[in-house]
Amino acid sequence: MSLKLMSLNLTSSKLPLWPTRFGWAFLGLVLLTLIGCINYALSLGYGLTFLLSGVWIVTAAQARRAARTLSLSVQAPVEAVAGHEMAFSAQVRQAGAASPVTLRAWAEQNGRRVPLTASLSLGAGDTQTAALKVPDPVRGPLRLSDVRLVAHDAFGLWQAAVPVQVEAEVAVTPAPEADAPAPPTLAASGPGENGRRTAGQEDFAGLRPYVAGDAPRLISWRHAARSGQLVTREFDAPLGQAWDLNWTATQGKVEARLSRLAAWVTAARAAGVPFRLTLPGQALPVGSGDAHAVRALRALALHPPFPEVPEQPASSEFLTLPAWLGGPKTSEPHPTPLPAAPLQFSLLALGVALLPGLLRWPLWTSALVLWLLTYRGLQAEPGRKLRPLPPVLLLALVVVAALGLNATYGTLLGQDGGTALLAALLALKAAETRTVRDARLLTLLGLFVTSTHFFHDQGPLTALHSLLASVLLLAAAARWAGDPAAEAAPGPVLPRPLLGLSARLLLLSLPLAALLFIFFPRPDGPLWQLPINQGAKTGLADQISPGEYSNLAQSDAVAFRADFDGPLPPPDERYWRGPVYEHFTGQGWQQVRGRFAAPSAEPRPGAPVWHYSITLEPNGKPWLLALDVPTTLPQSALLTSAFQAATLRPASLRTRYEWHSQPALLGRIESQDRLNLDLTLPDTPDAANPQARALAASWRTLAPEQRVQAGLDVFRKGDFAYTLNPPKLPADNRIDAFLFGSKRGFCEHYSSAFAFLMRAAGVPARIVGGYQGGEVNPDGGYLIVRQQNAHAWAEVWLAGQGWVRVDPTAAVAPARVQADLGTALTQPRATAPRERTALERATLRLDALQNQWNTWVVSYDGEQQRSLLTRLGISGPGSPVYLLALFGVAALTLLPALAFVRRRARPSDPALLALHDLGARLRLPRGPGETPTAYAERAAGLSPAQAPLLRDIARTFNALRYGPQPSPEHLRQLRSLVKQVRRVERN
C-alpha cells in the first residue's frame, strides 16, 4: 500500500476566478433589475442595482485575496478496503481573513473519475482538517488528482480556485470474504538454531530500513535519533508450519478469489502466522508481520484485471422547480432538515424586504404571506412538531392567490396585482424550502421584491428600507455560504459579524454605485409598455359633472411641484392648463377627439416668459400641466388644437418636465367647425334649462364682451356661495337648478353654468380643467400644487382676441385665486392667504427636502445627464472621452474597497502580522502547523544569502511570543528585521 503526503503553499499570482452558480444567478438578478429600471425610469432602482453591482465586483477581490492566503496539506489513508468508505485527510490553513473554502478533487480509479468535495468555514488564522470521502471504492489503485482549493467570498458569489499538484495514492484492497474457510498449510523442516528460519516474533534478527506499514512498536527510535533515519527491528523463528495462500486454492471469479485470499491474509496477520502468497505471475515468499501483510494486500489490490467503477449520478445545485410544480422528486425519504437559526434569519430578512407591500396589499394577502413565513420559521425549530405543508395545499394557495388578486386589481400584470402575486409566490416558496439551494434562492427573490417597491414610491424612506433589506438579505446569503453542517449548531438568529460585514461591503460599493448612477446612459423612452399603474388617481378626468371636483378638493396629496428659475408668477396667473371639455351632454362635459384646423397662437407683446420645471406625481393620465401656452415641448410631448399639452407616455411614475411658457393670444384664427361645436347645446327636454336659456337670450343684443360681463354679474350679485359640500342637483335641467335654486357650488358648478349661459347667448365657450394656484414653499422657493387645487374655469371666444380665460368662481370667491382653498372657504373675499401654523411650516421644510430629493435623485434622467456631461466638457455617452473617464473614475472608486479587502486578509496579531509580511516579501507563506524556526530554515534554503537574517527573525519571534518578559522593544526589533529582508520574485 502506498502513502504520499503533500504540503503546498499557494504563491501563484495567476488564480482562476469565476462566479459560482449563485453568483451567476445574482448577476442575472442585477441585469434583470437594470432592464426594469431602464424601461420604467426607476432612479432608485438604478441606485440599488448599481449598489448590488458594486458588491458583486468587490466580493471578487475578496475571494481572490482569500485564495492567496490559503495553504494545504493532503495525506492518503494508510489502508483502504473495497466497499468501505475511505477518506483522504486534507489540512487547510487560512492565514488571512475568514472565508468559506471548498476543497474539490477527483478520485481516479480504474479509468473512472469520482468527484470529491469538502466544505469548510475558516476563521482568520484558522486551520481545519477536512475529509475527502470516497464512499464505495472498488479494488485497485486509487489516486487523488486535479485537487483544487477553492476560496469563496463571504456571500458565496465568487470562487477563486488554485490547482494543486498532489500525488496521494492508495491501493484499495479486496474486501475480505466473510466466514472464509481455513487456508491450506505449508509444512517446513529445520527446527533449532542450525535449521532454516523464517520471519516470526521470537528472536531478534537485525535492522532494516523502514517500510510504509511497519508497526510503530517495531521502529528503533534510538537508532533513528542518532542517524536521523527510520529503521525497523526484524525477528525470526524456526521454520515450521506456514499458510500456503495460493491462487489455485480458490475458485470462482477473480474478485471472489481475491476476496478469499484477502480474508486469509487478514487472518494470518491477526494470528501472527507466517504465510506464503502465490498469484499468477507473482509470488511472495514465506513471511509474517505487518510489513509482510501490507505487501501481500497490496499485491492483491493491484492484481489485474480491475473491476469497473460504477458511474455517479449527476446532481443539480441551483434553480430547480419544486416537486409540487413539476420539478424532480427527491429520492431521499427524509432529507436532512435545514438548521433553524440561518433559516429563521433568512425568513426574517425576507419579511423585512416585503414590509412596504404588506402595508399596501389587501389584508388577506398580507395575512397569507405572514402566516406562511411564520409557520416555516416555527417548523424549523427542532423542538416543534409541525408538519410540512402538503404540496396539494401549496398548489391550491397559488390558485387562490392568483384568482383573488385578479379579482381585486382586475389584472395580474400591473404593479399592484403583479407585486402582490410575486410576494405570495415568494412566501409559498419559503414554505417549501428544504435545501441550501432553496434558501439562497430566497435571497435573490427578496432582493428582486425590494426593487419592485420603487414602482410605488421612491422617497428617502423607501431608499433607507431598500438598504436595510439588502444588508439583511446579503447577511442571510453569507450564512449559507460556508459549511452548512457548521451552521447546524445552535447559535443566534441575528449574526452581528455578518450584518457588519454586509453593511461594510455595501458602504464600500457606494462610490461605484454613485458614479454609475450619474454616468450610466439613461434612455429617453421605455423599451416596452405595460400597465404598471392602473390604479393611479388624479384630480382631473376625461369628463366632469357638478360635484366631482368637490370630492377631490378635500385631498391634500401633491399633484406636482413647480420650480421657477426666476420670480414666481402672481397668484392670478397660476392657471395650470390641463384637459379641455367642449361637448355638453346635459349632465356633464366631455373632451372632443375631433380633428380641427390648427388655431393661431401669438405671444402677447411684453408678456413675461416663464422658465420652470414640473415634477409631476404619478397619475396615469396623458396630459401635462403648464402655464398658458408652452413655447417648447419636452420630448415625446405634443400640443393639441385646444392648446392642451399631452404626452404619448402617461405619467405612471414621478416625472420631471422642463417648460418655457408665455401668455399668448390663443385662437384669434380658429376653425369655424370648432366655434360651431362650442356653441352647441343639447335639445333634449332633460337638458333644455329654459330659465337659463331665456336669461342668456336677453343678452344677445349686447356686445360679446358685455355678454361675458353680464354672465359674471349673475354670480357677483346673485347671492351665490362657494362650498365644498354643495347639495345634490337633479338629473334634469341641472343648470336651472343651480342658477335659480341651490346657488351653492364648487368650481365645476360655476364654470359649467357660465359656459352654458355663454353658448345660449351666442358666445362660443368651453371648460378648461387643471389646477389653480399653488402653495409657496419659502424653504425651497417653489410651488406645491395639491389635488385640492384642482380647478375648472371657462374660455370664451371673442373676435380679435381669440380664446379668453374667464373664471366665474373668482367672481363668487376671489380668495380662491388670490389666496388658497382654506381661506376661500372661510373668507371668500380675502386677498391674501392665512397665516401658517407651526406644523404647516415644519411640513413645508420636509417637503423642501423631498423636492430636492425628487430633483436630484428621482427625476435624474437622460436630459439632466447630458447637461451635466456638457458642463464637464465630456461629449455624450458612448464617446471615447466618456468611456475613458467612466472606466478611469470607476477604478478609483474601487480603491477603498480593495484596500479594505487587502487589510482584512492580514492577521490582527502584531507578531503574526510581521511573519505574514515576511511571507509576502519572500512570496513563501508558512505551511499549516509550521513553526517559525522550521519556516526560517525552509526559507533560508531557498534564499541562502538571507539565512542569518531569517534565523534572527525566528529567534526574535520566539523570544517575543514565548520569552519570560516580552516587551514592545522585541516587537519593534522584529518589524525592523522583517523590513530588512529583500523581496523575492518567484514564478
pLDDT (tens digit per residue) in 877-896: 777 777 777 777 777 777 77
Q: Confidence class of residue 222 from pLDDT cuts 50, 70 and 90?
A: confident
Cβ–Cβ under 8 Å, residues 897 and 61: yes
Is residue 611 packed enough to be buried (19+ CB in 10 Å), middle (13-18) or exposed (0-12)?
A: middle
297 and 333 assigned to the same domain: no
Domain count, the chain: 5
Q: Report the pLDDT value the prediction gives residue 1, as an integer from 0 to 100.
A: 37
510 assigned to some structural domain: no
pLDDT tens, residue by residue, 352-394: 999 999 999 999 999 999 999 999 999 988 878 888 899 999 9
User: What is the rounded average pLDDT of the residues 467-472?
Assistant: 96
Following CA atoms 957, 962, 967, 969 in sequence, which dihedral angle do they give, to the nearest 10 degrees?
-20
User: What is the rounded average pLDDT of the residues 311-330?
Assistant: 47
- In whole angstroms, what is the distance from residue 328 CA to residue 339 CA? 23
Cβ–Cβ under 8 Å, residues 511 and 899: no
Q: Report the pLDDT value the prediction gives residue 832, as an integer from 0 to 100.
A: 67
In Å, the largest CA–CA distance within the chain is 159
Q: Report the pLDDT value the prediction gives residue 536, as an integer from 0 to 100.
A: 39
Q: Report the pLDDT value the prediction gives residue 188, as an integer from 0 to 100.
A: 46
196 and 86 assigned to the same domain: no
Q: Confidence class of residue 515 from pLDDT cuts 50, 70 and 90?
A: confident
553 pLDDT above the threshold of 60: no
117 pLDDT above the threshold of 60: yes
**Per mean pLDDT, which of 21-25, 113-117, 682-686 is the most reliable?**
21-25
258 and 345 assigned to the same domain: no
529 pLDDT above the threshold of 90: no
Q: Report the pLDDT value the prediction gives residue 815, as an integer from 0 to 100.
A: 83
Q: Which of 233, 267, 301 is the last residue of a domain?
A: 301
Q: Confidence class of residue 298 from pLDDT cuts 50, 70 and 90?
A: very high
120 and 247 assigned to the same domain: no
894 assigned to some structural domain: no
Residue 911 per-residue DSSP state: H
- In whole angstroms, what is the distance from residue 267 CA to residue 263 CA? 6
63 assigned to some structural domain: yes
Return the CATH number at 52: 2.60.40
| Candidate from 571-575, 628-632, 914-918, 966-970 with smallest mean pLDDT | 966-970
- In whole angstroms, what is the distance from residue 506 CA to residue 237 CA? 76
388 and 347 assigned to the same domain: yes
330 and 220 assigned to the same domain: no
Secondary structure class of 853 (helix, strand, coil): helix
More confident residue, 817 or 38: 38
Q: Report the pLDDT value the prediction gives residue 10, as an integer from 0 to 100.
A: 42
- In whole angstroms, what is the distance from residue 254 CA to residue 277 CA? 16
Q: Confidence class of residue 494 from pLDDT cuts 50, 70 and 90?
A: low
Domain interval for residue 138? 5-160
User: What is the rounded average pLDDT of the residues 50-62?
Assistant: 90
660 and 802 assigned to the same domain: yes
200 pLDDT above the threshold of 70: no
- In whole angstroms, what is the distance from residue 164 CA to residue 144 CA? 11
Strands in 48-195 per DSSP E: 70-75, 80-81, 86-94, 99-109, 112-122, 127-134, 140-152, 158-164, 168-173, 185-186
485 pLDDT above the threshold of 70: no
571 and 712 assigned to the same domain: yes
Q: Which three cell numbers stand for residue 869?
A: 456631461
**Per mean pLDDT, which of 39-53, 633-647, 909-923, 942-956 is the most reliable?**
39-53
What is the DSSP annotation of 769-822? EEEE--EEETTTTEEEEEGGGEEEEEEEEETTTEEEEE-HHHHH-THHHHS-HH
Half-sphere exposure of 160 (CA within 13 A, CB side): 23
Q: Report the pLDDT value the prediction gives residue 317, as an integer from 0 to 100.
A: 43
Residue of 214, 416, 736, 807 marked catalytic: 807
Query: What percent of the chain clears pLDDT 70, i.e. is strictly above it?
Result: 83
Q: Rounded to whole angstroms, what are the CA distances from 34 to 90, 458, 858?
A: 43, 16, 15
Is the peptide bond preceding residue 305 cis, with omega within 30 degrees of 0? yes
348 and 294 assigned to the same domain: no
Residue of 152, 456, 465, 791 marked catalytic: 791
pLDDT tens, residue by residue, 698-721: 999 999 999 999 999 999 998 899
More confident residue, 230 or 838: 838
527 pLDDT above the threshold of 70: no
List the beta bridge partners of residue 744: 721
More confident residue, 985 or 552: 985
315 assigned to some structural domain: no
Q: Which of 791, 810, 839 is the last residue of a domain?
A: 839
pLDDT tens, residue by residue, 324-337: 444 444 444 445 67
Cβ–Cβ under 8 Å, residues 746 and 726: yes
Q: Report the pLDDT value the prediction gives residue 221, as an integer from 0 to 100.
A: 73
* 807 assigned to active site: yes
Is residue 971 packed enough to be buried (19+ CB in 10 Å), middle (13-18) or exposed (0-12)?
A: middle
131 and 230 assigned to the same domain: no
More confident residue, 545 or 282: 282
What burial letters (b/e) apply to 340-354, b meaning 16+ CB within 10 Å? bbbbbbbbbbbbbbb
* 126 assigned to active site: no
User: What is the rounded average pLDDT of the residues 574-599?
Assistant: 89
Q: Which of 452, 469, 489 is the last residue of a domain?
A: 489
Q: Report the pLDDT value the prediction gives residue 330, as an integer from 0 to 100.
A: 45
Query: What percent of the chain clears pLDDT 90, i.e. is strictly above it?
Result: 33
734 assigned to some structural domain: yes
24 assigned to some structural domain: yes
Q: Report the pLDDT value the prediction gives residue 8, as an integer from 0 to 100.
A: 42
697 pLDDT above the threshold of 70: yes
471 pLDDT above the threshold of 80: yes
Q: Confidence class of residue 801 from pLDDT cuts 50, 70 and 90?
A: very high
272 Rama class: left (phi>0) / alpha (psi -120 to 50) / beta: left
11 assigned to some structural domain: yes
Q: Which three cell numbers stand for residue 595?
A: 380633428
660 and 736 assigned to the same domain: yes
391 assigned to some structural domain: yes
934 and 965 assigned to the same domain: yes
* 916 assigned to active site: no
